[in-house]
Amino acid sequence: MMVRVRGSTLSVSASALLACLPVALAFSPSFPYGTEKVRGVSLGGWLVLESWITPSLFDDAGNTGIVDEWTFGALQDGSTAQQALIAHWDSWITEADFAAIAAANLNHVRVPIGYWAWEVGPGEPYIQGQLAYLRKAVDWASAYGLKLIIDLHGVPGSQNGFDNSGHRISQPQWQSNQTNIHRTNSILKRIASEFGPQYQTVAAITPINEASSPNTLELIHDAFEPLDHWNGWQQPPKYQGVAMDTHIYHMFSNTRASWTRSQHISYACGQGGNLQNFNDQLFTIVGEWTPAVTDCATYLNGRGVGARYDGTHVGSLRVGSCAGLTGSGASFSPSYKTFLRQSWEAQVTAYEKASGWIMWTWKTERADEWSYQAGLRYGWIPANSTARQFPGICG
């Protein structure tokens, strides 16, 4: 998570990471991309904190200046922060989650993790320990027959300035700083060398999540270009094992926030054609999306930042009250739950015209409209990911 409009990053197979350097390597994926659809979910808010996914971790820390993982380490006692993180890593995702994900007929899990799991530079307040959990996740994925995508969600200097990169800052420093780019490359090589041999489970690596502007690094590009910008770029056979990862959200602009429910469904269905065309050239996976259509979830736009939907975000135009649209699914009306089901089905229908989808996110503390687990519990996501209640929703 997450781009405010929409973005693209590249997914590269672990075994083929080096194929993005000038020498192309042979590559044989452990999942039949192109013939079977990717159906998956991200484990958001686990190894990279996001205040809207686990608001309690932030509220319990007290200091309202704690807005991301950087300030989580910087603005409280180090051992208090470390103990809170360890308790969180131990409990937020466990083997039981992998069992439930597999039982829902999903085939991929995507695990966001920050560069600081591998390397903390001088003056960086990050706390380490995540890597052991990533290794456990690979074992659990393997045990339940799931493919795992390692998603480098935060890079040195921050690639987008959002809390989800680890460091919420107004001027991201990754793109403009060669040291940061070199550090990122060397961390990617470490990831590839440790996890590449486990390609049967670690099917892909997303080198940089949602970078905010163009750059020259060979592995990634602008997050805000339309898909057709990429036509002809890094196509097989020259670059084997590269896929496009596009992120589609419906709420991060005043215009989108004001769409009616039927406009959301039409927009979702309308993505199918583009995605299918692009997928003909390069496997395209919608690597982040959600059935939610508002930005009402507390702290979604950052701790202390309001929502466009109810007009509490600076510069937004109120659409309506957020009451009943976020929180526990137990409080959602039957018509809202039906709409979430339609939103979910319209999107997966469109995204399966390309190579498939990975929903953001598996669980949240109190924003159930974003939670796959809550969707299963309250019925707006089918127990089996291939089942449909509205098979004709996209006409």
Query: Interface with ligand NAG includes 262 (CB under 6 A)?
Result: no
CB 78 to ligand NAG: min, Å: 21
Stretch that binds ligand NAG, among 55-63, 66-74, 177-185, 320-328 (CB under 6 A): 177-185
CB 123 to ligand NAG: min, Å: 7
- Of the candidate residues 28, 177, 235, 262, the single one contacting ligand NAG (CB under 6 A): 177
The C-alpha atoms of residue 364 and residue 346 are separated, in whole angstroms, by 22
- Reduced to 3 states (helix: H, G, I; strand: E, B; else coil), residue 202 is strand
Stretch that binds ligand NAG, among 31-39, 172-180, 343-351, 363-371 (CB under 6 A): 172-180
Q: By rule CB under 6 A, what count of residues binds ligand NAG?
A: 10
- Reduced to 3 states (helix: H, G, I; strand: E, B; else coil), residue 220 is coil
Peptide bond into 122 cis (omega under 30): no
Residue with token string 């131990």? 90
Report 89-118 residues binding ligand NAG (CB under 6 A). Answer: 105
Query: Interface with ligand NAG includes 264 (CB under 6 A)?
Result: no
Of 38, 12, 5, 34, give the one whose Cα is nearest residue 286: 38
Retrieve residue 284's tokens: 């395209």
Give the residue with the Cβ less far from ligand NAG, 177 or 260. Answer: 177
Cβ–Cβ under 8 Å, residues 285 and 352: no
Stretch that binds ligand NAG, among 178-186, 196-204, 225-233, 235-243 (CB under 6 A): 178-186
- Pick the catalytic residue: 95, 124, 194, 210? 210
Cβ–Cβ under 8 Å, residues 322 and 309: yes
- Torsion, CA 278, CA 369, CA 159, CA 130, rounded to 10: -110
CB 384 to ligand NAG: min, Å: 4
Stretch that binds ligand NAG, among 71-79, 90-98, 162-170, 175-183 (CB under 6 A): 175-183
Query: Interface with ligand NAG includes 384 (CB under 6 A)?
Result: yes
Give the residue with the Cβ less far from ligand NAG, 82 or 173. Answer: 173
Report 129-168 residues binding ligand NAG (CB under 6 A). Answer: 156-157
Cβ–Cβ under 8 Å, residues 314 and 306: yes
Query: Interface with ligand NAG includes 121 (CB under 6 A)?
Result: yes
Of 17, 85, 27, 99, give the one whose Cα is nearest residue 57: 85
- 288: annotated active-site residue: yes
Query: Interface with ligand NAG includes 179 (CB under 6 A)?
Result: yes
Three-class HEC string of 257-297: HCCCHHHHHHHHHHHHHHHHHHHCCCCEEEEECCCCCCCCC
- Of the candidate residues 37, 183, 221, 313, the single one contacting ligand NAG (CB under 6 A): 183
b/e 286-324 (16+ beta carbons within 10 angstroms → b): bbbbbbbbbbbbbbbbbbebbbbbbbebeebeebeebee
Q: Which residues bind ligand NAG (CB under 6 A)?
A: 105, 121, 156-157, 177, 179-180, 183, 384, 386
- Active-site positions? 210, 288
